[in-house]
Amino acid sequence: MSRETHLPALFQLFRQQGYDGVSLANIAQATGLGKASLYHHFPGGKDEMVLATLGYAGDWLELNVLEPLGEDGDARELLEEMCDRLSQLYDEGRQPCILGTLTLGPVRDDLHEVVKQGLARFIEAIAQLLIKAGLDQRLAQERSEDAVVMIQGSLLVSRGLDDPTPFQRAMAQLPEKLCAGI
C-alpha cells in the first residue's frame, strides 16, 4: 500500500486530536501500520505526516470546493454547492477543521505558510466568483474574507457548544449574504 492510502485515516486523527494529541501508537492503530512501516512511508515522522495530511486536505478542497467555484453558472447556485460540500466535509458541523486543531498547538509556526496559502486560495476562489458575477473587486475580497471567517468561526462555535446548529445556519445563510446586491 502507498502512503496515500493512509491519508484519510491520518486526516481524521489529526483533525480530531491535533498535533500534540496524536501519538505514534494512535497513528499505528488508525493506519494499521507498525512503527517501522510508518517511518518507511513517512521518513520525516509525525511532522511529515501532518504536512502530507494537509496536502491531502488541500487537494480535496481544491477538487471538490474551489475548482467548482470557477465553473460557469449562477453564482448563488455555485455557492450553495460549495456550502453543501463543506457540510459534507465537516459532517454538518459535527467535525472540526483540521486547520483549527493543528494551528492551536506548537506546530503553528511550522504550518503557518501552508495555512496562509490555503486560506488565501479559498478567499481568492470565492472572490473571483463574486467578481465574475458582477461585484467590484474590493467588495468581493471583503465578502470572501467574511465568508471564510463565517465558515471557520461557525465551526469553532459549533465545536465549543457541542452543537452543529451555528455551522448549519452559516451554511444556509452564506450564499445569500455573498450574493446580496448581485
Per-residue confidence (pLDDT) for residue 67, from 0 to 100: 96
Per-residue confidence (pLDDT) for residue 64, from 0 to 100: 96
Which residues of the chain fall below pLDDT 50?
Answer: none
What global pTM score does this model have? 0.89
> pLDDT tens digits, residue range 69-100?
999 999 999 999 999 999 999 999 999 999 88
Per-residue confidence (pLDDT) for residue 106, from 0 to 100: 62
Maximum Cα interatomic distance, the chain, rounded to a whole number of Å: 58
Q: Which fold has domain 47-179?
A: Tetracycline Repressor; domain 2 (1.10.357)
Measured CA to CA in angstroms, residue 39 lies from 35, 52, 56, 137 at distances of 6, 13, 18, 47
Contact 58, 50 (CB under 8 A): no
> pLDDT tens digits, residue range 23-35?
999 999 999 999 8
